[in-house]
Chain A
Amino acid sequence: MLKARIIPCLDVKDGRVVKGVNFVNLRDAGDPVEIAKAYDKAGADELCFLDITATHENRSIIFDVVSRTAEACFMPLTVGGGVRTTDDIRKLLLAGADKVSINTAAVKNRGFVREGAEKFGSQCIVVAIDAKEVAPGKWEIFTHGGRNPTGIDAISFAEEVVSLGAGELLVTSMDRDGTGKGFDIALMRAIADSVPVPVIASGGVGTLDHLVEGVRDGHATAVLAASIFHFGTFTISQAKNHMAERGIPMRLA
């Protein structure tokens, strides 16, 4: 039976993890490769790096981080942040990423999703959708960390990018991100029920019940979280056991 996935996400800037982690004693709590190894050992189902490097000259550091991670971790790795051209995708895949996550570039140019899927296969094209509720039951796509509205309806955007070849959607509620109040379940469910591909729920996890809700009520097949794992509030296995006890099929150690 296919299991629901737990995906820790690391924000990486200039090759370093922003804020670091403290869930385990690491020699270097800011080294994404060390952290990736620790999550691999802890039983994470996949790993996600979000590269938030701002300066152009440091953009290539992520390729080395990905390459060193792929040497040490035999688990799926998704890398997002600043993926704008098929050359960016190619370089990340060659470095050892399994999937790339496309955000702003997909909003600006839907054709880029098709181009990526045709060149590299849908299985490696994740479209990251950042949405805010603008009216009850209506969500709009925002870019630049939730600052820029686009006027694009999140559900129809989701359907469109899937029809163009996206193999998976990473849906983040910008209303909930960083609040610890739980996923925007209505948003997750509205998107998951409209597309045939897997949806990763993101934004707002504060408790283990939130993870359960993302899968059970939000119909996501994977849940992404950052701070609850990085800061050691919960371990991956606590999260998995909690979800399994509530009837969600999990890959337990």
Chain B
Amino acid sequence: MSDVAIIDYGSGNLHSAAKAFERAVRDGGSSATILVTSDPDRVRKAERIVLPGVGAFRDCHDGLKAVPGMWETLEGEVARGKPFFGICVGMQLMAERGLEHVETKGFGWIKGDVKVIEPSDSALKIPHMGWNTLDAVRPHALFDGITLGAQGLHAYFVHSYHLAPGDGEQLIATADYGGAVTAFVGRDNIAGSQFHPEKSQALGLALIANFLKWRP
């Protein structure tokens, strides 16, 4: 099986995420099939898992929990070493806790809490919305061939909260918005981006292509 399961739990813009993955599959000459699914059995059979998410941490958490067996399936598959990619709130759910509105437990795969961003310059608007460059903290396979830094490619962000890492080793890239905002985290077979690869044109498609061939 070379399926990529994009988890459908009633959150967010699955259509554009699925389209971006399909485009990356086509461009890369891969034979992978992109499945948008809420069926844990299909997720178990898939080779890779993508968890998108927009909106509030608690709503996404509750939406995911409301799909019978999905939360446990994701925990099991990640523990088995299956490549996993979280996007935006899907990435935030990898943290230990979300502190948006109410405290909510996340998967706890990445150490740290999801907290409101606090730019040092009070003139900076929240949400952090638009195109920003990424600063690499450490190399990661998903950024292979992608130019980062001030002169590098841009990623599209729209968020008011970010994953404040409890373990600096798991922080892969940041964006500068009145201080460092977490842009990408990962360890072993799991990775997640605060920005939206499906909306980030060249950088996004390259990142997705790297995920499709990632062998952590």
**Mask: chain B, 158-200; 1 = CB below 8 Å from A; 0 = not:** 1110000000000000011100000000000000000010111
Partner of A76, one of B126, B133, B156: B156
Residues in chain B near residue A93, CB distance under 8 A: 12-13
Min Cβ gap B44→A in Å is 26
Query: Contacts A96-B13, A96-B16; is A74 near B23 (CB within 8 Å)?
Result: yes
Is the Cβ of A122 less than 8 Å from the Cβ of B160?
A: yes
Residue B204 CB within 8 A of the other chain: yes
Is the Cβ of B129 less than 8 Å from the Cβ of A74?
A: no
Is the Cβ of B125 less than 8 Å from the Cβ of A1?
A: no
Is the Cβ of A197 less than 8 Å from the Cβ of B15?
A: no
Is the Cβ of B128 less than 8 Å from the Cβ of A2?
A: yes
Is the Cβ of A95 less than 8 Å from the Cβ of B127?
A: no
Residue B56 CB within 8 A of the other chain: yes
Is the Cβ of A121 less than 8 Å from the Cβ of B131?
A: no
Min Cβ gap A148→B in Å is 30
Q: How far does the alpha carbon of A222 sit from the alpha carbon of B198 in the complex, in Å?
A: 21
Is the Cβ of A221 less than 8 Å from the Cβ of B16?
A: no
Min Cβ gap B135→A in Å is 10
The total of chain A residues at the interface (CB under 8 A) is 34
Partner of B54, one of A96, A121, A168: A121
Is the Cβ of A70 less than 8 Å from the Cβ of B19?
A: yes
Is the Cβ of B132 less than 8 Å from the Cβ of A1?
A: yes
Residues in chain B near residue A3, CB distance under 8 A: 130-132, 154
Q: How far does the alpha carbon of A67 sit from the alpha carbon of B16 in the complex, in Å?
A: 9
A196 nearest in chain B by CB position: B126
Residues in chain A near residue B87, CB distance under 8 A: none
Is the Cβ of B13 less than 8 Å from the Cβ of A98?
A: yes
Residue B2 CB within 8 A of the other chain: no
Residue B68 CB within 8 A of the other chain: no
Residue B150 CB within 8 A of the other chain: yes
The total of chain B residues at the interface (CB under 8 A) is 40
Residue A45 CB within 8 A of the other chain: yes
Residues in chain A near residue B176, CB distance under 8 A: 1-2
Q: How far does the alpha carbon of A70 sit from the alpha carbon of B12 in the complex, in Å?
A: 14
Residue B20 CB within 8 A of the other chain: yes
Residue B76 CB within 8 A of the other chain: no
Min Cβ gap B181→A in Å is 10
A220 nearest in chain B by CB position: B125
Is the Cβ of B125 less than 8 Å from the Cβ of A5?
A: no
Residues in chain B near residue A95, CB distance under 8 A: 15
Residue A208 CB within 8 A of the other chain: no
CB contact list, B41-69 vs A, under 8 A: 54-56, 59
Residue B91 CB within 8 A of the other chain: no
Query: Contacts A74-B16, A74-B204, A98-B199; is A167 near B154 (CB within 8 Å)?
Result: no
B151 nearest in chain A by CB position: A252
Partner of B55, one of A1, A94, A121: A121
Residue A231 CB within 8 A of the other chain: no
Residue A198 CB within 8 A of the other chain: yes
Residue B34 CB within 8 A of the other chain: no
Is the Cβ of A2 less than 8 Å from the Cβ of B132?
A: yes
Residue A37 CB within 8 A of the other chain: no
Q: How far does the alpha carbon of A219 sit from the alpha carbon of B201 in the complex, in Å?
A: 27
Residue B205 CB within 8 A of the other chain: yes
A121 nearest in chain B by CB position: B55
Is the Cβ of B199 less than 8 Å from the Cβ of A123?
A: no
Q: How far does the alpha carbon of A124 sit from the alpha carbon of B159 in the complex, in Å?
A: 10
**23 A-B residue pairs with CB within 8 Å:** A1-B150, A2-B175, A3-B131, A5-B130, A74-B23, A74-B199, A74-B201, A74-B205, A75-B156, A75-B201, A94-B15, A95-B15, A96-B15, A98-B16, A98-B158, A121-B56, A123-B54, A123-B127, A167-B127, A168-B127, A198-B127, A198-B130, A219-B123
A positions within 8 Å CB-CB of B = 1-5, 40, 45, 67, 70-71, 74-76, 93-98, 120-124, 167-168, 196-199, 219, 221-222, 251
